[in-house]
Structure 1
């Protein structure tokens, strides 16, 4: 995958929206916007209503944006369903082993100046860069 038509303004706007959403969830509900923790708590926690609404928003908003052609994304057609499923499984296992995911550690944890999250973010970013480089999928 290559970056095509990268503009810092769209990246800045996206980052501000994600950060604002995470901050709003923290200030209004006292909750951390870590996706793996939110999803894991759907079945086990008594407060599953907000969790289901959060995950539904994560699914519905991209469907609306991509369905209306407001935004586009690179095609994944060149990757097999098996390879995509394996990648998703490995990400899930990694987030479980790391006690959190990129949103929990990289956005919320680092925003709260958590050293554990800084270390976790450095490790998973390094692992991602090494994996893409070794497998050659970034070309």
Structure 2
């Protein structure tokens, strides 16, 4: 399972296209058929967790030849499976800052909110199970 934090203009849309998204923490391995939790970036006026879905297309973006150090990027198409029933965003995850405590909330805070950048991240099975309780 994966999570993406990015600007989501229409959280109620049944499908989304995400172009050249940064990847971190194993996010570059996302592929067609993978499940993904969608977080509407609060930096872009979003509300955190809004939906979950399935990847229907994934394409790794080629690296630029003239850039020495760059983050891998992926373009995705995602079809919505469900809308979140409860809020989960930066405010709810901020108290979970003991980086090695093993809690799913801490993993989400670390991977999604420690840096402000939008990104696709890989999730542990425990964190994916925790997020499934929001649907």
TM range (shorter): under 0.3
User: TM-score normalised to the size of structure 1?
Assistant: 0.27
**TM-score between the two structures when normalised by the length of structure 2:** 0.27
Structure number with greater Rg is 1
